A and B are shown apart, each in its own frame.
Chain A
Amino acid sequence: MKPLLEKARRNRFLKPMEPVFDALEAAVFGSDATTAGGPHCVDGLDIKRYMTVVIAGLTPAVLAAVWAFGVRSLAMIVVSYLFGGLVEVGFAMARKKHIHEGFLVTGLIFPLTLPPTVPLWVVAVGVVVGTLFGKEMFGGTGRNIFNPALVGRLFVTIAFPSIMSTAWQIPGSDAITTATPLGMYKTSQAVTALTDLLVGRATGSMGEVFRVGLIAGGLFVIWTRVSEWRIPLSYLGSVAILSAAGHRFAPARVAPPLFQLFAGGLMLGAFFMATDPVTSPFTKAGKWVFGTMCGLLTVLIRGFSGYVEGVMFSIVIMNGLAPLIDHIVLKATFRPRPRAKAGAPAPAPAHCGSCACGRDGGRGGER
């Protein structure tokens, strides 16, 4: 395979395809790159594996979706990867940059947030809009403000409201209903049994119904340190506390806490979308604020708006606020210090350039 790749790379007409060959070669054979020195030896984790761990965490939910909704769910994932991948590859070719692995997660999470009955073209439209306007327009991986999968989901929700909210397949059968657990609470205050919600017997989006698997996968990703715990904990915690308080005072609108925790897309959102490091705050205090605010918005939207579910909106809104939260936290914790300009009668620091002492943090030239 390696000589074949070499040949393809040298072909003049295939020149624009270079990022594809590079990505293939690096994924299959690894890269020959070595450290530049300082540090000479580095940690084994790379972004490919980092993203792979997230995908591994989502695997129980994917398998459950295939069991509950049939092979069609696989088709939705394939379409999502295909069209999401096309956008990513297209932009990499246009930019003459490497293909980044982030779309492997986006392309998987997006179909998991969709009702299992949506036509495949909706999947394609959603993932293209999500990747294009959610990520590439901002400059690609690491620079986006909003979670790309949720941008796609938001677009199709608003563009195709009837497709997105009227037909829900009952897991394990071909029967279609118009009701979801959250919708039933809104219309008749009917509470679905928790066990049904946990093991995936209730209706819902493709990847959200098997909540035992989502929780197990989410905890696994947190355990590996690829994802962190503050956001899911504060998100789920604030939903529990606020819905308990809300249910006490407005039981007709606010559903009880356990039901709220296990209904809708909360588990998928809290473990796999709110935790996206790019679009959430990086300060620890900011993560607590972010999660708590997500919980507040979710309870408010579910209880008091025309929408049945509020996870998507709350995460997207908080994505937009994440930079501001970080800014405020930094202002509060990193107090400005006085500064000196050139010409001040300050002697030069000891790292004067002629010795190694400043370079290694005052350890002296010895070690």
Chain B
Amino acid sequence: MIRGRRPFSGGYRFSRFQGQPAASLVALDAPRRVIIPLRQGFRDAAKSLVGPGDAVAAGQVVGADEARLCSPVHASVAGVVEEVRASDAGDAGGTIVIRTAPSGPLKKLPGHSPRWADLSGEAIGDLLYRAGVAALGGGIPTRHRSALIEPGEVEAILVRDTGSEMYCPSLSVVLGEERLRAFVEGLLILQKALRGAPVHVAIDRRESVLVGRLSRALSGRAGVALHPLEPRYPQDFDAVLVPALLGRPFPHGYAAANIGVVTLDCQAVVHAYEAVAEGKPLIERIVALCGPGCRRPVHARVPVGAPLADAARLAGAGEGVRFVKNSTLTGPKLADPQVPIDRTFAAVVALPERGPAGLLPFARPGFREDAHSRTFLSCLLPTARAASASLKGEPRPCVSCGYCQDVCPAGIIPHLLYKYVAKGYFEDLLATELRIFDCIGCNLCSYVCPSKIGVAEHVRIGQDRLLKEGVDNSADILSSFVLKGLDSSRPSAA
């Protein structure tokens, strides 16, 4: 066990924020219509197997494509296909709209068994693939094209949920009730499917009860290690956690799978158990509907494909809020209320667009302000912090205060890269000496910047521009790593 170790330099420990989801779990009623995206999780879009007017059962596969890097997608409710929409954006892959009918029985996966230990690794892999669980994380390798690498190439399984974000689902809910046992069994199921690779579980060390239960449940299990970690953002990033827990350097710009590491969150492991032992396809996620924009922040069981608006109503989200998927630091903004919640969701955060108004805002006491500096009274108080999408100031020139440098987990100098990119100097030295490709995209530099500069955005612009000019770090990486699965990492020919 690695207790309290600080495995990387920099990073940022967020205070507790207002609007954390309540520790209870409620169910979102089946919506009148579900919208099933054909691209859900790793990596490509599936092909629709149904047409308008077809009746589908809950759990029935409605999209799959053996030729591409993807796992099947399912109807999450029983109903009738209304429409198969082509995608607006190039690789989004379109959606299947299903009108919900009075509930029918769940279509279970053939071949599942509560006595999963009797199943072969390959049979387990088939179940994971057909359940859609293999699409989670960076893809779980099976004998189908569900991940970059083959099951035999897996060297470690990394399950992480260190709670380092401002808002994330509570582990005591995700692994609550019977799900803790399912989680433990799920770890062993995954281990069997992946040829006995060692399993590392990294969870928030503040969840002391859970840590105790898990360490009891896992004691004596060979090849399963539990790591209670400090919730220091961006602890959950592969590029941070793989070096910290496995002691191996990370090939920046490539995926963890390329060095044989499969990374998943805790809920994915529960899904693996439910698929293999109970035959349940992945048609429902536990999603934290939270943030200060919600009057009733909760954890909810959400059917895959339920529109955001339904979930927002359940959590009591008001007007003038911005919905963000999974991470307030890196997640996409969900602008359309009809956007479906799919199997890649763990949280929906509702942030008020505006912060509280007041005169002379720069001189406010800041009882609920979160800041890297100790410039608000909140640094002396245990108050829950307020979150909003306000910029909390005006953009100003960089004064080299060095905050971005302090928090950068990659050990690069974000403000210097910003200055090069802002002036249009796209030189090789950005890649060779200043290591622009070491950036892991955690966005902390933009978070702490008092000049309100989009530092991380500029780093990305610089990366893209350099890639266009043919400068990248692949020669560096390829000369020091033996990477797996590079052939299949290319976009498929289809």
How does the 8 Å CB contact mask read for B217-249 relative to A, with 1 for contact and 0 for none? Answer: 000000000000000001011110000000000
Whether, in the assembled complex, B117 has its beta carbon less than 8 Å from a beta carbon of chain A, the answer is: no
Whether, in the assembled complex, A226 has its beta carbon less than 8 Å from a beta carbon of chain B, the answer is: yes
CB contacts (< 8 Å) of B236 on chain A: these are: 363, 367
- In Å, the complex CA distance between A32 and B352 comes to 12
- Give the residues from 412 to 465 in chain B that come closer than 8 angstroms, CB to CB, to chain A: 413, 415-416, 428-429, 431-435, 439-444, 446-452, 454, 456-457
Residues A45 and B373 in contact, CB atoms below 8 Å apart: yes
Residues A339 and B476 in contact, CB atoms below 8 Å apart: yes
Grouping DSSP codes into helix (H, G, I), strand (E, B) and loop, the B interface class, with mixed when no group exceeds half, is loop
Q: How many residues of A contact B (CB 8 A)?
A: 78
CB contacts (< 8 Å) of B392 on chain A: these are: 42-46
CB contacts (< 8 Å) of B450 on chain A: these are: 43, 45-47, 49-50
From A101, A226, A362, name the one whose CB has the most chain B CB atoms within 10 angstroms: A362
Minimal beta-carbon separation of A150 from chain B (angstroms): 17
Residues B490 and A352 in contact, CB atoms below 8 Å apart: yes
Which of B239, B329, B399, B489 is close to A277, meaning CB atoms less than 8 Å apart? Answer: B399
Residues B265 and A367 in contact, CB atoms below 8 Å apart: yes
- In Å, the complex CA distance between A44 and B457 comes to 19
Whether, in the assembled complex, B390 has its beta carbon less than 8 Å from a beta carbon of chain A, the answer is: yes
Residues A52 and B363 in contact, CB atoms below 8 Å apart: yes
Residues A350 and B258 in contact, CB atoms below 8 Å apart: yes
Whether, in the assembled complex, A178 has its beta carbon less than 8 Å from a beta carbon of chain B, the answer is: no
- In Å, the complex CA distance between A118 and B213 comes to 74
Whether, in the assembled complex, B493 has its beta carbon less than 8 Å from a beta carbon of chain A, the answer is: no
Residues B370 and A43 in contact, CB atoms below 8 Å apart: yes
- In Å, the complex CA distance between A46 and B449 comes to 8
A339/B471 contact (C-beta < 8 A), A38-B456, A334-B435, A362-B238 known: yes
Which of A50, A278, A358, A364 is close to B263, meaning CB atoms less than 8 Å apart? Answer: A364
- Give the residues from 119 to 136 in chain A that come closer than 8 angstroms, CB to CB, to chain B: none
How does the 8 Å CB contact mask read for B327-347 relative to A, with 1 for contact and 0 for none? Answer: 111111100000000001010
Would you give 24 A-B contacts (Cβ < 8 Å), ordered by A? A28-B360, A29-B357, A30-B362, A34-B389, A34-B391, A39-B443, A39-B444, A44-B375, A45-B450, A46-B394, A46-B396, A47-B450, A50-B401, A277-B399, A330-B433, A340-B470, A349-B474, A350-B148, A355-B42, A358-B253, A361-B439, A364-B255, A365-B138, A367-B344
- Which residues of B approach A to under 8 Å, CB–CB? 41-44, 91, 136-139, 148, 166, 234, 236-239, 250, 253-258, 263-265, 268, 322, 324, 326-333, 344, 346, 349, 351, 353-354, 357-363, 366, 369-376, 387-403, 405, 413, 415-416, 428-429, 431-435, 439-444, 446-452, 454, 456-457, 469-479, 486-487, 489-491
Supplied contacts A33-B390, A52-B362, 5 more A-B pairs, CB within 8 Å: A34-B354, A42-B448, A50-B450, A142-B400, A353-B491
- Which residues of A approach B to under 8 Å, CB–CB? 26-50, 52-53, 98, 100-102, 140-143, 223-226, 228, 277-278, 282-283, 330-331, 334-344, 346-355, 357-367
